[in-house]
Amino acid sequence: MELARKVMQIQPSATLKISATAKQMMADGVDVINLGIGEPDYQTPDNIKQAAIDSIQNGQASFYTPATGLPELKQAISQRIMADHQHHYDLDQIVVTDGAKMALFTLFQVILNPNDEVLLPVPYWVSYSEQIKLAGGTPVEVGTDRQLRFTVADLEAQRTPKTKALVLNSPQNPSGLVYSRAELTAIVGWAESHAILVIADEIYEKLMYNGNQFTSVLELEGIDLDHVVLINGVSKAYSMTGWRIGYAAGPKAVMAKMGVVLGHAASNPAAVSQYAAIEAFGGDQTSVETMRQGFEARLNELYPLIASLPGFKLPAGKPAGAFYLFPDITEALRLTGYQDATAFVTAVLLEAHVGLVPGEAFGLPGHLRLSYATDMTSLREAHRRLQQFMTQKIAEQAN
């Protein structure tokens, strides 16, 4: 049977592929340290777990909810946004989805016509480009400088009459880069002037380190938010990856059509997860700060270790947010004789038993991503293995 052409052009998620391979090796008894997936190692906070348990015991979790989410959850999201960014969304401006990934997927389905173009500054999260293709659109890469930043001039160089949207991810996956208020004002202002929708993925907003400050697009002065859709969720800040709750917030007309699509696609997000998310957004936020401090401590210890590896360079400096490092390994490839980052990462997994993700998956060859969302003992051991791997491969090349 001939399969749909749009499906045949889609590549598997590199992060999930690496993680699946690592997990299979672990199941086979191999001692693998998997730094390839963006998943906090912390348990979901107890107050959130208890809210889920309560919803089961009192019978609330047994039934369908509205396709776009419980009104109580939308209210909790609206109040959290107001508390954090001083912007109000009405409930019909918010759509709850099965994870932030589903919010993005549904949004692309709603806004894109065949061959519409979406600007993706490099590097970008692996699923953006594939979701755009599935919606019939065309991802257009936007070049960045050595520090992985882009400007309005870079955007303008790629703009065409077909440009429909720009994905703006800050803090960024995979680099941890965070855009300043001035940078965001210029970027969003440029998009507004050309009637280009800004898709602001702020899923890592709570994970900022070493005194760096996060600015949401919602806080910018003089910006028309009719040209902005906010994407966020509970996965990262609240350590709830498995609960699968995300949301989109934006213009009512866009949210209404997203609701129509979601009604046919999934009926509704899991009720029990929605009740847990109400507590996440509306309950005690102490655990968010506790986990943030933990990630910060890991970053501060791991960063110099990775920067000291032969051929590893971090030209953008220490990341300001998220929980990833994205080193340039061009020199490491030369030293070890590997053709590209994919071959390098594969060898590291099979020989050193450390799971990483090649930069090719993020639109930037010659790099790799590693996550420090795991315990420090494992991170130190991963560094030791990488150091040993590099020493061995460099020696082999010398011979």
pLDDT in tens, 340-349: 999 999 999 9
How far, in Å, CA of 273 to CA of 269, rounded? 7
10 pLDDT above the threshold of 90: no
Strand partners, 165: 118, 197
> Residue 230: pLDDT band by 50, 70, 90 thresholds?
very high
How far, in Å, CA of 121 to CA of 46, rounded? 38
How far, in Å, CA of 152 to CA of 344, rounded? 34
How far, in Å, CA of 200 to CA of 119, rounded? 12
pLDDT in tens, 319-333: 999 999 999 999 999
Poorest-pLDDT segment among 25-39, 42-56, 273-287: 25-39
> Residue 248: pLDDT band by 50, 70, 90 thresholds?
very high
Locate the domains of the chain by residue range.
5-43+287-398, 61-282
Average pLDDT over residues 87-101: 98
Q: Are 288 and 206 in contact (CB under 8 A)?
A: yes
Under CATH, which number does the domain 5-43+287-398 receive? Answer: 3.90.1150.10
Under CATH, which number does the domain 61-282 receive? Answer: 3.40.640.10
Q: Give the helix, strand, coil percentages of the chain, each rounded to 5.
A: 50, 15, 40
Tell me if residue 207 falls in helix, strand or coil. coil
21 pLDDT above the threshold of 90: no
369 pLDDT above the threshold of 90: yes
Q: Are 96 and 70 in contact (CB under 8 A)?
A: yes
Residue 277 makes CB contacts below 8 A (sequence gap 6+) with: 48, 73, 76, 96, 234, 240, 243, 245
Q: Are 303 and 323 in contact (CB under 8 A)?
A: no
19 pLDDT above the threshold of 90: no
Helix or strand holding residue 165 (H, E):
strand 163-169
Q: Report the pLDDT value the prediction gives residue 13, as an integer from 0 to 100.
A: 78
312 pLDDT above the threshold of 80: yes
Q: Which among 311, 289, 243, 283 has a CA at the least distance from the CA of 97?
A: 243
How far, in Å, CA of 371 to CA of 27, rounded? 21
Distances, alpha carbon 212 to alpha carbons 207, 259, 320, in Å: 10, 36, 6
Average predicted confidence (pLDDT) for the chain: 96
